[in-house]
């Protein structure tokens, strides 16, 4: 018989809801576990001269790996070491001055207890996250964070479910508390996430992606409308800047200015200075590229002159922002 036929859809919904309710109950118990031991663990990590090593077996190992990744990305250098591999050489990754966070719901995981004596010979602070404060691992640690649950969501009471959720959330509480205590900023976060959208928005500056040198469309104020159009066409940015002999920005001439000139029956031999936009927007090379994006979107334009000390330094176009992943 197919086991799935033993349950109808209503049963499956009820089972799923029961799992979620069980895990919610487990999480509701966690705030009271934020005690002096939790604070001492935070202080030990903040005072750490080395790195934070996270360790756990089985499902606790998977949770530990995620906790290590969260710590590392929020200002606390951390990595995961498998306890089984630690006893075969990887223990050398743990050095004096490090802090070790060990996850074990039972507090009696053989692979971890086997290497605790060797770790205790090092100048390492051990933080245990277990569901049993009186367990051997909890007693061996310098600090213990209680993550125990009354019931697993598994009806057999065997598969780690509520207990791993509780450990994961406590790990997040630890990481974010440390983040706040360190004064970790969005810019700091971006530096460890350069490939993400946030990293690009907080790390890429205008000077990183702007057009420079011969790629800047520019004409002198004496150039006629025909020459300005040719320069705009050559560079393909939909605009040209007008500069003097010292490269000081005098104005810009855009596709919009061109349309208005034709509407006003202005002939192509007219000097571009007479039809350019003199009071034009600009941005500094050191500005974040996302600031250029915000300005372009606010004013419904597609390109900005980049100016340093009144002189043209480059042009940034919406296409540049798209290519850089800012948009």
Residue spans of the domains in the chain: they are 3-184, 206-323
Which of 86, 88, 146 is CA-nearest to residue 116? 86
State the Cα–Cα distance between residues 231 and 238, nearest whole angstrom: 10
Phi, psi of 193 (to 5 degrees): -130, 55
Architecture of domain 3-184: 3-Layer(aba) Sandwich (3.40)
- 3-184 and 206-323 in the same fold: no
Phi, psi of 243 (to 5 degrees): -130, 160
**pLDDT 10s per residue in the chain (327 long)?**
455 556 688 888 899 999 999 999 999 999 999 999 999 999 999 999 899 999 999 999 999 999 999 999 888 999 999 999 998 889 899 999 999 999 999 999 999 999 999 999 999 999 999 999 999 999 999 999 999 999 999 888 778 999 999 999 999 999 999 999 998 776 767 666 566 666 667 778 999 999 999 999 999 999 999 999 999 999 999 999 999 999 999 999 999 889 988 888 888 889 999 999 998 999 999 999 989 999 999 999 999 999 999 999 999 999 999 988 887
CB atoms within 10 A of CB 287: 17
- Contact predicate 45/19, CB 8 Å: no
What is the predicted pLDDT for the residue at 102? 98
State the Cα–Cα distance between residues 162 and 253, nearest whole angstrom: 64
Per DSSP, the three-state class of 173 is helix
What is the predicted pLDDT for the residue at 225? 92
State the Cα–Cα distance between residues 136 and 158, nearest whole angstrom: 21
- Contact predicate 127/71, CB 8 Å: no
The pTM score is 0.68
Q: Is CATH 1.10.40.30 the classification given to domain 206-323?
A: no
HSE-CB of 22 using CA atoms within 13 angstroms: 21
State the Cα–Cα distance between residues 73 and 215, nearest whole angstrom: 38
Q: Determine the Cα angle at 222 with ends 281 and 267, to 5°.
A: 90
State the Cα–Cα distance between residues 276 and 97, nearest whole angstrom: 65
Which of 265, 277, 284 is CA-nearest to residue 301? 277
Q: CA-CA distances (angstroms) from residue 11 to 4, 156, 186?
A: 11, 17, 45
- Pull the structure tokens for residue 8: 């109808």
- Contact predicate 167/253, CB 8 Å: no
Q: Determine the Cα angle at 94 with ends 88 and 95, to 5°.
A: 135
What is the predicted pLDDT for the residue at 6? 60
What is the predicted pLDDT for the residue at 105? 96
């Amino acid at each position: 018989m197919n086991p799935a036929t033993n349950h109808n859809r209503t049963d499956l919904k009820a089972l799923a809801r029961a799992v979620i309710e069980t895990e919610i109950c487990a999480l509701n118990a966690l705030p009271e576990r934020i005690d002096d031991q939790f604070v001492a663990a935070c202080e030990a990590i903040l005072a750490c001269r080395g790195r934070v090593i996270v360790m756990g077996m089985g499902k606790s190992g998977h949770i530990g790996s995620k906790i290590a990744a969260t710590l590392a990305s929020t200002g606390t250098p951390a990595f995961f070491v498998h306890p089984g591999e630690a006893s075969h050489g990887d223990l050398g990754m743990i050095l004096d001055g490090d802090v070790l966070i060990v996850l074990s719901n039972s507090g009696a995981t053989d692979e971890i207890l086997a290497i605790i004596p060797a770790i205790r010979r090092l100048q390492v602070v051990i933080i245990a996250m277990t569901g049993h404060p009186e367990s051997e691992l909890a007693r061996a640690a310098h600090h213990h964070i209680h993550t125990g649950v009354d019931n697993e969501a598994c009806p057999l009471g065997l598969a780690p479910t509520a207990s791993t959720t509780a450990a994961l959330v406590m790990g997040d509480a630890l990481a974010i508390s440390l983040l706040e205590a360190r004064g970790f900023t969005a810019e700091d976060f971006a530096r460890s996430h350069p490939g993400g959208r946030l990293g690009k928005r907080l790390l890429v500056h205008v000077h990183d992606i702007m057009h420079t040198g011969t790629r800047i469309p520019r004409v002198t104020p004496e150039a006629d409308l025909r020459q300005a159009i040719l320069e705009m066409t050559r560079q393909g940015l939909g605009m040209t800047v007008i500069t003097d002999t010292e490269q000081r920005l005098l104005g810009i001439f855009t596709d919009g200015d061109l349309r208005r000139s034709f509407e006003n029956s202005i002939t192509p031999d007219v000097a571009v200075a007479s039809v350019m936009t003199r009071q034009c927007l600009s941005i500094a090379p050191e500005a974040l590229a996302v600031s250029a994006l915000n300005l372009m979107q606010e004013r419904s334009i597609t390109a900005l002159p980049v100016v340093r000390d009144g002189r043209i330094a480059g042009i940034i176009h919406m296409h540049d922002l798209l290519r850089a992943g800012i948009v």
